[in-house]
Chains A and B, each alone.
Chain A
């Protein structure tokens, strides 16, 4: 629950100052997965600053999200080295295979694809990060194998994945 999580976060800290705003936003996002309107309003009350300022700071940084992510998060590196090694093809393949909507979520809501400025693993370009784990020297075939394995692992547990909308 968003409301309580912000409050527990705030009660544990006694050094509430302007300098703490970004770390607090980061902690809220780590807990809830995104920044909700209620969380930001709560934070504004606690820090005694206008919500607009908090929203202004949050929207400035790429890290903060204002909507929840899918079950699986794929970060596609779009750094220079990856670009030179055709990371665009990887991104476009994901787009087609997962039927991504413009906001980067797949049609069934299970996958979220984010493009990241640089993951800092240029020596093994092109790179993606799937659920926190790095995969380097990627090709479309390797990517397909990776996603196939992921779907296979999940298939017996749930309903058929193809075309099932939440």
Chain B
């Protein structure tokens, strides 16, 4: 663990100690010293800040080593850089940072030289890092093919666009992701140097609990995890409920497939989340906090654990924080892989050590939550927004959003789009701007068909409706929802019936089984959708069943929506309802014509053998798992359509490429 350099006293006059913490500690570190005037002490503080901001002594290489960077070989790159610089005894420091957000062009490596010039290079991989190092260190060529952008004023590099003006970043407003990819997420010092904990210090030492709650109510911050409940109001309820013990839980169980912003925030700037938690805990009077994080995010858990330990050592967590008589402690709870545990009452059951099943509300957790005590649950992104609100005021936050909405929202852009990554935009920006403006549209001349937003609880928004603003209410009118912000772009190669089936399979597997509508209803809906994507073989009854299934689908969806216990069930039907609403023609093609327009549904694929080129080797016949291929040796073979399951194994096996898919 890194020891904090900033926290060391400047001279004997500094009275801060863990036993008697100084209330002005954070401000003193950032602008001090405050309690005495001394040019030498001031210079010492500035020198330390400068050193932390630089990140090292000589040249510093910041390597984007979040999970996505690592998947592209960031750790191998670090190893190669280390080997290279050690062999030549170059004074180079390597700092691992989180993901800057532009995952498509990972791995990003930023270079800062002794003069403070910071340039950003991208598209690095273990294969070309040698070339990069040779260009930079041997040929002293900073202006090479990897150069992507610059930070701040870079004398001599004025023609290189600032990173914030490059196409992917230009349309964004980065507040929560401000530090991600820039600062060292494993060092409290770099968070402090970037202004971290100033807001917490302000809240704890100068504001009352009511004032903090009111500030957040005024800001209009709404929960970023999905439901969008006003955060400040939740806090106020917990604050005004009398109890001997209150709890704060940070929900980092990001189970929505397609969402990864919480992971990126925890990996890139964990101190912001800790600071947000500290402010929230103070506001509601909680002394114990939990972070409920998915076990699938080992790096995020490690970063968070380090951050909590460093904050403890520095007196920013623990007892009597900053002399404000506030106590607060954070425990990390690793999830064990259950999607429903993102639901707030299910989290409570899971933290208590039971099966993560939701219970009816009210009572809401803010009144009776963990162990029956008032408990506030906030999402990672919600808490990461809090320090900014306290520091810059509710008006600033209100102004960030468009129209009535407040603040920014991070979206995880993925799927069939040119630029994938994390996008932070003002709430209310039209979807089209995100998908086309920042995402760059569909790749290689394909056509965007729909955008799936909100994960399994959300819906598919078709191309013609992409002008809808990303606003909680407006999205709901289209049968989608903001959800946690996963945004998966689909082009004409995706089949919407298949997408609906995919989500229904997901929900069916993840339904906790407590209430009947969700447990039985989603199973039944999945059966119907599966029948739609398979060829009706045999008698007419099967065909009729399929047709009737579609009629029942809508009714079933409505019943599940109306009668399920928790949010998972209530929103489970959204993917089906929204695809039925906007892509009914695709459903009809599946039923009436036994045809999948996108050619995705395997059960409806038809393969034929070209008689002219088939040599009758029999390889396909051997490979076919359903015995659908017949033919004599050395004679042309045939596929029995009714027996074929559409797996395509024969296509891969055929040595003469004689088998093809009929459109």
Assess whether B382 is interfacial by the CB under 8 Å rule. no
In Å, the complex CA distance between A41 and B104 comes to 48
Assess whether A139 is interfacial by the CB under 8 Å rule. no
CB pair B70–A134 under 8 Å, yes or no, is yes
Residues of chain A within 8 A of B422, CB atoms compared? 123
Q: Which of B389-417 contact A (CB under 8 A)?
A: 412-416
CB pair B412–A123 under 8 Å, yes or no, is yes
CB pair A22–B416 under 8 Å, yes or no, is no
In Å, the complex CA distance between A14 and B502 comes to 45
Residues of chain A within 8 A of B338, CB atoms compared? 60-62
Per-residue CB contact flags for chain A residues 93-134 toward chain B (1 = under 8 Å, else 0) read: 000100000000000000000001111111111010000011
Q: Which of B337, B421, B502 contacts A80 (CB 8 A)?
A: B502
CB pair B353–A85 under 8 Å, yes or no, is no
In Å, the complex CA distance between A134 and B72 comes to 8
Residues of chain A within 8 A of B506, CB atoms compared? 78, 117
Per-residue CB contact flags for chain B residues 323-344 toward chain A (1 = under 8 Å, else 0) read: 0000000000111111100000
CB pair A118–B71 under 8 Å, yes or no, is no
| Given A80-B486, A83-B502, A84-B416, A18 and B352 contact (CB-CB distance below 8 Å) | yes
| Given A120-B297, A121-B71, A57 and B490 contact (CB-CB distance below 8 Å) | no
| Given A120-B296, A122-B260, A122-B488, A81 and B414 contact (CB-CB distance below 8 Å) | yes
CB pair A121–B258 under 8 Å, yes or no, is no
Assess whether A20 is interfacial by the CB under 8 Å rule. yes
CB pair B352–A120 under 8 Å, yes or no, is no
Q: How far is the CB of B180 from chain A (nearest CB, A)?
A: 14
Residues of chain A within 8 A of B661, CB atoms compared? none
Classify chain B's interface size.
Answer: 35 or more
Q: Which of B473-491 contact A (CB under 8 A)?
A: 486, 488-490
Assess whether A2 is interfacial by the CB under 8 Å rule. no
The interface-forming segment of B249-257, B278-286, B360-368, B605-613 is B249-257
Q: Which of A72-86 contact B (CB under 8 A)?
A: 78-85
Assess whether B179 is interfacial by the CB under 8 Å rule. no
Assess whether A8 is interfacial by the CB under 8 Å rule. no
| Given A122-B488, A123-B414, A134-B70, A22 and B257 contact (CB-CB distance below 8 Å) | no
Assess whether B494 is interfacial by the CB under 8 Å rule. yes
Task: Closest B residue to A29 by CB, please name it.
Answer: B336
CB pair B488–A84 under 8 Å, yes or no, is yes
In Å, the complex CA distance between A136 and B71 comes to 6
| Given A79-B257, A92-B647, A117 and B337 contact (CB-CB distance below 8 Å) | yes
| Given A23-B334, A62-B336, A80-B502, A122 and B353 contact (CB-CB distance below 8 Å) | no
Q: Which of B415-470 contact A (CB under 8 A)?
A: 415-416, 420-422, 452, 455
Q: How far is the CB of B283 from chain A (nearest CB, A)?
A: 25
In Å, the complex CA distance between A83 and B495 comes to 11
Task: Closest B residue to A123 by CB, please name it.
Answer: B103
Residues of chain B within 8 A of A19, CB atoms compared? 351-353
Residues of chain A within 8 A of B494, CB atoms compared? 84
In Å, the complex CA distance between A132 and B647 comes to 29
CB pair A79–B258 under 8 Å, yes or no, is yes
CB pair B488–A134 under 8 Å, yes or no, is no
CB pair B254–A120 under 8 Å, yes or no, is yes
Assess whether B354 is interfacial by the CB under 8 Å rule. yes
**A interface residues, Cβ below 8 angstroms from B:** 17-23, 25-26, 56-57, 60-64, 78-85, 92, 96, 116-125, 127, 133-136
**Besides A63-B336, A80-B257, A80-B455, 10 new A-B residue pairs in contact (Cβ under 8 A), listed by A number:** A18-B352, A21-B354, A26-B295, A61-B338, A80-B415, A84-B499, A117-B257, A121-B71, A123-B420, A124-B103
